[in-house]
Amino acid sequence: MPADLNDYFKKKNGGSGNNGGDNKPPFNMEPPEFLKNLGKKAGFLYALIAIVVIAIVAKPFVIINSGEMGIKATTGKFEPIPMDPGFHLFIPFIQQVFIVDTKVRIMNYSSSEDLGEVMQRGSGIKKNAAISVLDARGLPVSIELTVQYKLEPSTAPQTIATWGLAWEDKIINPVVRDVTRAVVGKFNAEELPQRRNEIAVNIEEGIRKAIDAQPGKPVELLTMQLREILLPTKIKEQIEKVQVAKQEVERTRYEVEIANQQALKRAAEAEGQAKARQINAQGEANAVKIEAEADAYANKKISESISEPLLKLRQIEVQGKFNEALKENKDAKIFLTPGGSTPNIWVDTKDTQKVTSASK
């Protein structure tokens, strides 16, 4: 405690004990020890409090999350080396840290969604109006597509220094619109639906080439999807009529093809039946021929087997049978064939209507 305060307590109690006064204080009025040394440390304490207040107000630190990159600016000049995710300190009022998003970002071009600068803060999705294009004949066409991209972390300070924090609207958006108009404008509106894949490939290649041509390659293009081609009402009606006509032609062609196949089937069946009948007739003819050849061969063999002695033997045998018959019927008459060959014919004179023929 300061010295003048001690003197005050001494005077209040009637002087110091050295004067031998009778009035003594009823209790010890000495201040605490830390109050006695407060005067010496007050400057340090005030400085500490000031530093804490400045730290709270100025916030000389920043925390960078994953998927983000910090860019430090000292007296307005961006440092070329970006700040990685983590805890970083900087000098307030002299330095400033800008945090940029390095995650994958999406830019939608649509005519059906509610348009706005950003769908949700921090979502990384931007929405723009559908791209209006004039086809080769000057008819208006709207193109809806989606572009996925991300900021190149290594060149982020240079990109922000060149294009600013609104780099997407200065790099991505103009390039996408210009390339889309250049590609689609080469075709007639009626051709667009049929050549959709070709158009999508050309747009993506054009966007990628234009972005890669930027100094320092500030952005990496990931993908581009062509979602919809919106045609004028009259063009859509014409295309629908053409499609209906094509479907009718295809249906007629299909019916003709079916009829041709059925006719070919019937012709094949008729041809098969004719061939079958021909084969059967040929088989029967071959069978008759074989049978006739067999009979002829048998007759030939039989004729070859007949000899003069065999004929005489057969004649003797027949004559013997007639002799036996004459023994029983003495009135029978016998007629011999010329040359004495068999058969012989004999007639019973008792029964003129009975004629008996004996063969060998």
* 20-24, 57-61, 63-67, 133-137: least confident range: 20-24
| Measured distance CA(292)–CA(187) in Å, rounded | 84
Q: Report residue 201's pLDDT band, with 50, 70 and 90 as the boundaries.
A: very high
Contact present, 189 and 231 (Cβ < 8 Å): yes
The predicted model scores a pTM of: 0.54
| Measured distance CA(352)–CA(223) in Å, rounded | 126
| Measured distance CA(54)–CA(58) in Å, rounded | 6
pLDDT at 187: 92
Q: Among 188-202, 231-245, 289-303, which range has the highest average pLDDT?
A: 188-202
pLDDT at 332: 65
Mean pLDDT of the chain: 78
Tell the burial category of 156 from Cβ atoms under 10 Å away from its Cβ (0-12, 13-18, 19+): buried
Q: Give the architecture-level CATH label for domain 105-231.
A: 2-Layer Sandwich (3.30)
Contact present, 88 and 51 (Cβ < 8 Å): no
- Compute the chain's Rg from CA coordinates: 64
| Measured distance CA(264)–CA(258) in Å, rounded | 10
> Residue ranges per domain, the chain?
3-58, 61-101, 105-231, 232-305, 308-357
Q: Report residue 218's pLDDT band, with 50, 70 and 90 as the boundaries.
A: very high
| Measured distance CA(282)–CA(346) in Å, rounded | 49
Judged against a pLDDT cut of 60, whether residue 2 lies above it is answered with: no
Judged against a pLDDT cut of 80, whether residue 175 lies above it is answered with: yes
β-pairing, 105-110 with 125-129?
A: parallel
Q: Is 155 helix (H, G, I), strand (E, B) or coil?
A: helix
Judged against a pLDDT cut of 70, whether residue 121 lies above it is answered with: no
pLDDT exceeding 70 applies to what percent of the chain?
Answer: 74
Tell the burial category of 219 from Cβ atoms under 10 Å away from its Cβ (0-12, 13-18, 19+): buried
pLDDT exceeding 90 applies to what percent of the chain?
Answer: 24
* 134-138, 186-190, 245-249: least confident range: 245-249
Residues in the chain: 360
Judged against a pLDDT cut of 70, whether residue 191 lies above it is answered with: yes
Contacts (Cβ under 8 Å, ≥6 apart) of 257: none
